[in-house]
Each structure stands twice: as C-alpha cells, then as structure tokens.
C-alpha cells in the first residue's frame, strides 16, 4: 500500500521548471461552412452506422419528402437529392408536407412528417413512412398511416428517441380547449407508428418570447449528455421572433411525470443582428465526423423583414454549428454564427479550462467564459495573405485579434495595410505540443501570441513556460 501511494504521488509531481498543462480536449474543433442547404427548413440530419449522414427537410413547395446522404456533414451541401415520397393528389396527406425526420429503428427506416388534406390544408396531422433496404434513398417505402393521439387536432413535428430502453415520441399539438396554437407532448411508443399510454404535456407557451406573433411551442428535439435529457423546442412566430427554448430532466427519472422536467425561463438561441441571422429554430442534433463533438442543426433566414406570410417565404436555409457544454453539464448554444466558416474556441495548453476571449476589446485567457461567443473566433484567410490566418470575432464580425504595442486587442478592420499585418499570423504546430497550435506574428517573425497574467501579448518565447503560454488547442 505504501509503495502504491508513493507511485501515485510521483505521478502527480511536476518536474522543476516544467509548466502545468491542461488536458488535451476531448472534443476538438469541428468547423463547417454555412449555409449547408438553401431553401430547406426544419432540417433533420441523422448519422447512421453505415458511415453516412442522412438529411431531410421541408421544401418550400410543401409537396414532397426529399433525402440526401453523404459521408460528411459538409458533403450534404452538394449531395444528390432524391424524392422518396410525394403528396397525395386528393384527400389526407395531400397538402402542407412539413418537417420530415428520418430514423432507423429495429432494422427499418422510418420517416415522420406532418401533412394537411386537399379538402382542408390546415387539418395538419402526423404520419409515418416505413422503408426497407440498406439505403433509404432507394428503399421501398410504405405508408404506416396517421399517428393517433388524444385529440383529432392540429399536430405536427413528431420526433422519436430512446432513454433507458424506452422509446418515446415527442410532438406538438393544439389542445382544443385552450386558446393557443401548440404545446409539446410526450408519450411512450408501442411500435414506431403507435403511441401507448396517456400523453403528457411538457411545455405550453406562457412566456412572452413563446407568444411573439403566435402562441407556439413546437419542433421538439432531444439530446442526452451527462445523465440528463435535454429537449429543445421552437417558440413564437416563424419570422425573426422564432427561437429555441429548453426543457431538461434526469435520464433516470420518469420522463412521463411532468414534475421531473424543468423549463428555462429564457430562450437559449435567438436572432442575432450582428451576424445577420434571424429566426433560428426547428433544430435537430447530430455528431461530428470524428464522433467527438455534438452539432446543432437548424434553419434561419439572413434577413429580418419578410413581406407577407412567413410561410410563403422560401428562404429558410439549413445551417450547422458546434454545440458546446458548460461546466455544469448544460448545453451552451451561443449565437447563430455568421454565414461562412463556423468559429472555434482556443483553449490554453497550461491554464486549466482557460479560453482565449475578448473582454472590453482586450484579449485574454479566462475560464468560465460567458457569453460563449466572446471566446469564439473564425480562422479566415489572413488579411495580409500568403498562407496565413486572421482570427475574426464570432459576435463582432469584421473585428479581428491584432497586436498593438505587442498587446493583443480585438479591433475593427480599418482597411489599412498596418492593420492587416498586425492581424495576420502564421499558424504553427504548438510550441509545447505539436497537436496544438501556436500563432506567430506575420510582421514580427519569432514573436508568438502568448498569455501572461491572463492577458495576451505578442512576444518572443525563450523558456519552457513561454512556449507553454503560446500553445493552444482548437475546440
């Protein structure tokens, strides 16, 4: 026992002169280029065990269900799109084909979607398709019919998930006795097209942000993390008021007991004028290609003002960005980032939980950054060119990290050659860990971005500590 204790203590010691180092991130950077798909709303991306991502979404004609597949999320942008089902020419399932989702359950493919009828386009109900075959783009599809619920009323946005070996269905529906549009409901399932037991209402639009334009809770989506179940939902009118709310419960709790769910009093993902993203919502979740990062999938528009009914505006588009997690295990959605390459975070090699962030325009390294976007930067082509990079702020587009008197600040690009040179860096392998990154000044070769007393400077590293201070990991 004494020997074991000595070995353990030896493992905790740091050699004299060696700086402490933070853990290599479990979830490295995952970046994409937005938008992934134009004129595709209510997006759902499902990663299957065959190595493909499957993508479906609402088309603006509201007349069919389409699928794409690719081995990467970005590849979905250019993947062939196949129509697997078309609306009926008359009767039910003949209008308003909305919000398809694709799932693989017990060896078969299932697509959940909502549809109206030719005699009443607003008689929206939920339906299921079943597909057999390895590839759903070429599968044989059959209609399993309507998902029956407590009422024959406006219902849509079905999604399914498993917790603790139990399969559930979550959806949005109008309670005929209540003066609002839709609430979010949950029930267990007897099979992929049939609920069982008594559904429970998880959320009703009661906050002002849930009732902007219309009293709406819809589009539930589920992600599990750290022993908890998180359910996002969309709220408000489908214009710039559209946003995401969040419900949460313990994965070990009875999910059909509403007392076990808590609801955020504020929206978790909203329009952002700085990045020109409006009405983010109706999301789903997937994972990055390496399986180590969660990815938020959603739609929005690039402009605020809409002429006429938002449902007639075709320009909702599919977007993706990495989803981060706070120290307490809750999701941090950040902001809907600007079009183009998605941002990343830079964590310190030797300062535990420390991230590069801007605060009152001064660049520093700090733990527990809030808001998240203060620590997100887009690595873009260097303003001075020549195989270099510049780091653009996620929440202040057009503002870049630049050195001034060898201090690093976040400032707006003034278009001068001096600014371009000061805001341009050579991205090198990490000085203390080749798996990390170090940023060498473009116009002062040999000087690197490093933290000192939590502030960032551009200095020449000469010691082991200096090199550690100048090493970061992309997350």
- Predicted confidence (pLDDT) per residue in 367-397, tens digit: 999 999 999 999 999 999 889 999 999 999 9
Question: Which among 179, 185, 246, 247 has a CA at the least distance from the CA of 214?
Answer: 179
Share of the chain above pLDDT 90, in %: 93
With beta carbons less than 8 A apart as the criterion, state whether 111 and 128 touch. yes
pLDDT higher than threshold 60 for residue 8? no
In tens, the pLDDT along 220-234 reads 999 999 999 999 999
pLDDT in tens, 407-435: 999 999 999 999 999 999 999 999 999 99
Res 18: pLDDT: 52
Whether residue 218 lies in the annotated active site: yes
Q: Is the pLDDT of residue 17 over 80?
A: no
**pLDDT tens, 86-137?**
999 999 999 999 999 999 999 999 999 999 999 999 999 999 999 999 999 9
The answer on pLDDT for 67 being more than 60 is yes
* Mean predicted confidence (pLDDT) in 152-160: 98
Report how far residue 242's alpha carbon sits from residue 419's, in angstroms, rounded to the nearest whole number. 38
On the question of pLDDT at 44 being above 80, the answer is yes
* Segment 161-168 mean pLDDT: 98
Angle formed at CA 314 by CA 309 and CA 315, multiple of 5 degrees: 110
Lowest average pLDDT, out of 3-7, 290-294, 355-359, 462-466, goes to 3-7
pLDDT (0 to 100) of residue 7 = 32
| Residue 180 confidence (pLDDT) | 83
Residue of 101, 157, 183, 218 marked catalytic: 218
Q: What are phi and psi of 379, to 5 degrees?
A: -85, 105
Altogether, the residues listed in the chain come to a count of 475
**Cis peptide, bond prior to residue 468, ω within 30 of zero:** no
The mean per-residue pLDDT over the stretch 168-180 comes to 94
Reported in sequence order, the residue ranges of 252-370 that DSSP labels E, i.e. its strands, are 262-263, 278-287, 294-301, 317-325, 331-332, 340-341, 346-348, 355-359, 362-366
Q: Which residues contact 454 (CB under 8 A, 6 or more apart)?
A: 351, 354, 364, 365, 366
Quick one: pLDDT at residue 102? Answer: 98
- SS3 category, 297: strand
Judging by beta carbons within 10 Å of its beta carbon (0-12, 13-18, 19+), is residue 241 exposed, middle or buried? Answer: buried
């Amino acid at each position: 026992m004494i020997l074991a204790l000595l070995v353990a203590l030896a493992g905790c010691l740091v050699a004299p002169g060696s700086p402490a180092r933070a853990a290599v991130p479990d979830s490295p950077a995952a970046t994409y280029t937005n938008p992934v798909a134009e004129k595709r709303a209510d997006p759902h991306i499902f990663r299957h065990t065959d190595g493909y991502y499957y993508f479906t979404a609402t088309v603006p004609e509201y007349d069919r269900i389409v699928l794409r597949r690719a081995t990467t999320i970005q590849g979905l942008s250019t993947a062939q799109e196949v129509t697997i089902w078309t609306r009926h020419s008359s009767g039910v399932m003949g209008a308003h084909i909305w919000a398809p989702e694709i799932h693989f359950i017990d060896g078969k493919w299932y697509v959940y979607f909502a549809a109206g009828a030719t005699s009443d386009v607003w008689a929206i109900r939920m339906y299921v398709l079943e597909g057999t075959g390895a590839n759903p783009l070429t599968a044989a599809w059959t209609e399993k019919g309507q998902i029956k619920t407590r009422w024959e009323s406006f219902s849509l946005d079905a999604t399914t998930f498993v917790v603790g070996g139990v399969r559930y269905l979550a959806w949005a529906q109008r309670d005929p006795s209540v003066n609002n549009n839709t609430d979010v409901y949950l029930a267990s399932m007897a099979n992929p097209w049939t609920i069982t037991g008594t559904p429970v209402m998880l959320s009703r639009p009661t906050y002002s942000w849930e009732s902007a334009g219309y009293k709406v809770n819809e589009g539930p989506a589920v992600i599990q993390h750290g022993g908890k179940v998180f359910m996002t939902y969309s709220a408000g009118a489908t214009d710039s008021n559209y946003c995401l709310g969040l419900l949460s419960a313990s994965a070990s709790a009875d999910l059909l007991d509403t007392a076990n769910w808590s609801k955020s009093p504020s929206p978790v993902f909203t329009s952002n004028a700085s990045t020109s993203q409006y009405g983010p919502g109706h999301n789903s979740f997937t994972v990055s290609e390496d399986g180590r990062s969660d990815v938020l999938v959603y739609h929005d528009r690039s402009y605020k003002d809409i002429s006429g009914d938002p449902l007639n505006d075709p320009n909702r588009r599919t977007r993706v960005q990495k989803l981060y997690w706070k120290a307490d295990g809750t999701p941090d959605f950040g902001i809907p980032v600007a079009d183009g390459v998605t941002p990343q975070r830079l964590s310190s090699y030797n300062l535990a939980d420390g991230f590069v962030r801007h605060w009152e325009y001064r660049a520093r390294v700090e733990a527990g950054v809030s808001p998240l976007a203060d620590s997100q930067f887009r690595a873009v082509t260097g303003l001075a060119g020549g195989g270099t990079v510049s780091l653009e702020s996620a929440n202040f587009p057009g503002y870049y990290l630049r050195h001034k008197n060898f201090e690093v600040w976040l400032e707006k690009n003034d278009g001068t050659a001096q600014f371009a040179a000061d805001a341009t860096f050579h991205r090198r392998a990490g000085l203390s860990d080749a798996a990390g990154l170090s940023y060498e000044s473009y116009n002062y070769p040999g000087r690197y971005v490093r933290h000192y007393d939590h502030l960032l400077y551009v200095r020449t590293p000469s010691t082991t500590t200096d090199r550690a201070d100048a090493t970061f990991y992309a997350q």
